[in-house]
Structure 1
Amino acid sequence: MTQFPIFDGHNDTLLRLHMSDNAPSFFTESSEGHIDLPRAEMSGFGGGFFAVYTPNKNYEVKPEDYMTDSGYDVPLPPPIQQDEALAFTNALASRLFRLEAASTGRLKVVRTADELTRCLDKGIMAAIFHIEGAEAIDPDLDALHVLYQAGLRSLGIVWSRPNVFGEGVPFRYPSTPDTGAGLTEAGKRLVRECNQLGIMIDTTHLNEKGFWDVANITDAPLVATHSNAHALSPIARNLTDIQLAAIAESNGVAGINYAVNMLREDGGLGTDISLDEIVRHVAYIAEKFGVDHVVLGSDFDGTTVPDSLKDVTGLPKLLDRLKAHGFHNDELQKITHGNWVRVLEDTWK
């Protein structure tokens, strides 16, 4: 394995594989999607949070249809039912476990920080079972305990649409993340139960009030797996300096998202941008809040990334740009995986 295996905060590869009947096997190198095992292995991709996300049926919007000269506000889909989300969650989680079984030891679903460290040391792709949007969980939290026993170790309370636990931020530019009410009482109970079990809470997609509700309740480091610096790209999905300071104070991390509209100062969808746009967000957090509090959170297979990156095979070029910016080896070790290991050691039980 490379000196700097990249452990990544978020991908939607399971959903891509599930939704495409003709998708190539995860174990076959192809040009489709952003991640497959051969491309990952040759690129130093050490693994990451494999998201389980339930999309709305028959609901699709094109962000470009909402672009104006002054910005955009993309409408969110309606809430979905718990039984629908739980069935879909089971299907995607099953796909992850089947990939593990079929990988002949090249991929492992990790449940402890020690397992993660061993995989990174041995060049085995480490996958964390993560749910993005807690719709599959009932307000009594019975499903949470079952999913934990199945391997769930990370949970995003919302994907931007609302649910019984809280509200998310819209895809709106320009906008602050202060866009609505915070967590419900059920959401606050969910945070406490995740703390008790040792499930990492992901504040990504939460609005600002929800973020502060988590910060005021949790006894674990604050984490945003795939969110950028609002000061550099003022889209509602990004984190303000006050939020980033709270993450740093808690000894948590923010994972830099490669989505072009979350990198660009103008919030645009154009993909012809340099890898230095990613480096800019990494450096901003590292220099202002400390290198211990920034990681990478690609959103591979779930967003549009710069042409200069293309897919997982662009990661060595990104490392080169980080080195050229002036990050030293010990700092690269932290950004690529060390900070993730520390946070999970502090969070998981």
Structure 2
Amino acid sequence: MKKVELQNVSRRYGNTSAIEDISFSIAEGQFCVLVGPSGCGKSTLLRAIAGLEKVSDGRIYINEQRVNDIPAKDRDVAMVFQNYALYPHLTVAENLEFGLKMRKIDPKIREKQVQKIAQSLGISHLLNRKPKQLSGGQQQRVALGRAIIRQPQAFLLDEPLSNLDAQLREETRAELKRLHQELGITTIYVTHDQGEAMTLGEQLVVLSEGKIQQIGTPEAVYHYPANLMVAGFLGSPPMNCVRVQYMDGKLQLGKQSLPVNSELEKHLLNYNENKFCLGIRPEAISAVSPSLEDEFGTLELEVKLIEPLGRETLLRGEIVGTEDDLNFLVPGIWQGKPEQRLTVKIDLDRVFIFDQNNGERIYPRN
């Protein structure tokens, strides 16, 4: 059953489009993540679903009911904002039960619900405190609890973890995933953090400049990015994209080249252009001994940047004879120095080819 559905939704401010012709659906109980760079329209889209933004065109359905003209308070959705929006003069318990109180739920039932939610979020010991007495992580859990306790049709979260430090963000993210698995509430989550999107989402809606770039599971979007925008945005480090020319059965990178397999060659031969963008995930690149530099699938790089990350090191090297860089990881602490030459092997079964003009993926076909 479709819990939330958008059909050709647009939101314009004068001649400027914040979102344009957005269509997708979210199944009941699904965790859907709207992800993209800042300014891509994801928060505007979430606010349109909540009823806080009036759409210029299109239709929005919640539980198969068209809600375009239904006020936000009557859409039966709960929204958690980046700034938590707790009532400072109320205790944690009073903040949690506020929505139930407005709906005139019996006080005994309210108390039971508050205790249940507080226990599941690990904030039972904070019920008598006020927001100013809480840490950022505790305030976040109270905001989440206040939304969950209403048992809404859909749960909308707008960058709810962005104010937390790295460790607390990781802990709260795990808590969110556990709560979703336990409660099964349809959830729409906005973030610019692709790691968060990949970890939490069952369905990703990738946005850029107000338009949908790709919709799919995290695995599908990662392994089969629809275009250069998606390829470069998802992944840490992101996919490398370098300019290549197809000549004489090889991908030419300056004076260096990479061979192509028969399947890739078939796609390239049937294509009118001979200039492409080659996509290579960092995990498809590995450093090898200089004695293997003439082996098929190797490139010579000049190291430009070294970033130790603890258990591994991120290296950025310029492909010799070009102005293009490759980012990749090597295990442990790398002992080399900047400007050192390095031979790397490319896993040719894991490369991508994109149209240089429109950025669309040409290979592989899924």
Aligning the two structures, in what range does the TM-score lie when normalised by the shorter sequence? 0.3 to 0.5
Structure showing the higher helix proportion among its residues = 1
Name the TM-score, length of structure 1 as normaliser: 0.34
Structure whose CA Rg is larger: 2
| Larger relative contact order (Cα-Cα within 8 Å, sequence gap ≥ 6) | 1
